[in-house]
Chain A
Amino acid sequence: MSLSREEMAANVARDIPDGAYVNLGIGQPTTVADYLRPGSGVILHTENGMLGMGPPATGHEIDPDLTNAGKQPVTELPGASYFHHADSFAMMRGGHLDVCVMGAFQVSVTGDLANWSTGAPDAIPAVGGAMDLAIGAKQVFVMMTLFAKDGRPKLVPECTYPLTGRGCVSRVYTDVATFAIGAEGVRVVETFGISVEELISSLCIPLVSSPEI
């Protein structure tokens, strides 16, 4: 059985080290927070200027001055801090942020990331903080379905969409397999309802499989 979005989020959460400083991207990656182990000590960073971000705000907690990068109202946890944008992005570029989790249109075998533009001529370009996160975080985890709606693989020999960052992705969490990208190429870490042979035949990329698979 391929994984649900919730199961993918749980897989990502399981690999985030205790005590890490982590940025969760807008959309699906935000749900990873729901699966962090209580007591993990993971500290969430939001690029609009906060460490120690808490869960979404509800009811009387909602404060227009306290939002996440998706502009949703959130809460603050004890030990939280606020800072301006130049400091927030220094935390990324300066190599202080341990992990970021983002979605993707495509990831290449060398860890290139494409997640900000499909290059469509009528699209309004918008990048936000994705390029800074991609090259800044010590580890970039991508969370996506392995195949696009039209069936084309999103883990590719070379990205055809405009790049967000080069050689930056270290792990790819998908609905049918988890991959690690490193010096040895793309390694299959785990599969879900699919064999490594099926993966190899449906992806046009060389794969190394972990010994335990």
Chain B
Amino acid sequence: MTAVIMAAAEAVSVVKDGDTVLVGGFGMAGMPVELIDALIEHGAGDLTIVSNNAGNGDTGLAALLAAGRVRKVVCSFPRQSDSWVFDGLYRAGKIELEVVPQGNLAERMRAAGAGIGAFFSPTGVGTPLAEGKESRVIDGREYVLEYPIRGDVALIRAHVADRMGNLVYRKTARNFGPVMATAAAVTIAQVSRIVDIGALDPEAVVTPAIFVNRLVAVSAPAASSAPTAPAASSAPTAPAASSAPADRQEPA
């Protein structure tokens, strides 16, 4: 089934208490701020959030943490100059933290999306992050066994989608989006524009529609200055195609 275009509130209503939610972005680049805002409004709690960082400033992921909806964060780098919301919760013992090396974080989600049961990674060998994990020497090199990270839901931000759900991204805002899209039972992509089927160059599609379930158009996302009008220089989209308003509903 191809992706369904929804308003943000309806799209995130699939998230249940206790879910594991994969949240795209590296800092604010690629952060689906409007989907997170809708998730806060939706009210699901006791969440495990998997994301590279643990929120920046007071918006996006930081706002979700501040709202008290998150039980555990799985990330590579929670400590930043503007991560005061997470810092406060962590020091107060109100949130669990699992620190995962960034490449293992990406690969564990890739494994989940690709049906891999577990994999041996050289990253982290001999460090505290490998303690208690099974290891094996293969061809003279030591590796640590790492398990997949699956999401119930992934919230990602891409640049342009077609109505099938095929996605293209913009610059380094791509980061975890394509990997997370494969690793969750339901993937919700926030995009700046939704174009007609056939308007994306199939050779330029980064995330094929099979990995995308729900599309939410946000024409001027808070975390991006991406041009929303078709620009000659950002040209994976062929002809200028129709742009769906944020509240556009499409039958399944």
Contact = CB atoms under 8 A, between A and B. Distances in A.
Interface of A: 46-50, 63-67, 71, 76, 82-86, 88-89, 92-93, 112, 117, 122-132, 135-136, 162-166
Contact of A126 (B78, B125, B173, B176): B78
B57 to A, nearest CB: 12
A150 to B, nearest CB: 23
Q: Which 8 A-B pairs have the closest CB atoms?
A: A89-B103, A132-B103, A126-B79, A85-B106, A71-B27, A166-B126, A65-B173, A129-B102
Interface in B144-166: none
7 contacts: A64-B28, A88-B106, A124-B90, A126-B99, A127-B76, A128-B101, A162-B128
B106 A86 contact: yes
B29 A48 contact: yes
B30 interface: yes
Contact of A76 (B76, B171, B206, B225): B171
B55 to A, nearest CB: 13
A84 B128 contact: no
Contacts of B86: 124
B241 interface: no
A164 B127 contact: yes
Interface of A is mostly: loop
Contacts of B123: 93, 131-132, 135-136
A210 to B, nearest CB: 29
B244 interface: no
Q: Which of B30, B104, B127, B172 has the most CB of A within 10 A?
A: B172
Contacts of B79: 123-126
A135 B52 CA distance: 20
B226 interface: yes
Given A67-B172, A82-B174, A93 B103 contact: yes
Contacts, number: 149
B97 A125 contact: yes
B237 interface: no
Given A122-B91, A128-B77, 12 more contacts: A65-B173, A65-B224, A65-B226, A93-B122, A124-B87, A125-B78, A126-B76, A127-B99, A127-B102, A131-B101, A165-B127, A166-B126
Contacts of B128: 117, 162-163
A86 B76 contact: no
B110 interface: yes
B84 to A, nearest CB: 11
Interface in B56-86: 76-80, 86
A94 to B, nearest CB: 10
Nearest to A63: B225
Contacts of A112: 126
A165 B101 CA distance: 11
A48 B175 contact: yes
A126 B81 CA distance: 12
B223 interface: yes
Interface in B77-121: 77-80, 86-87, 90-91, 97, 99-107, 109-110, 121
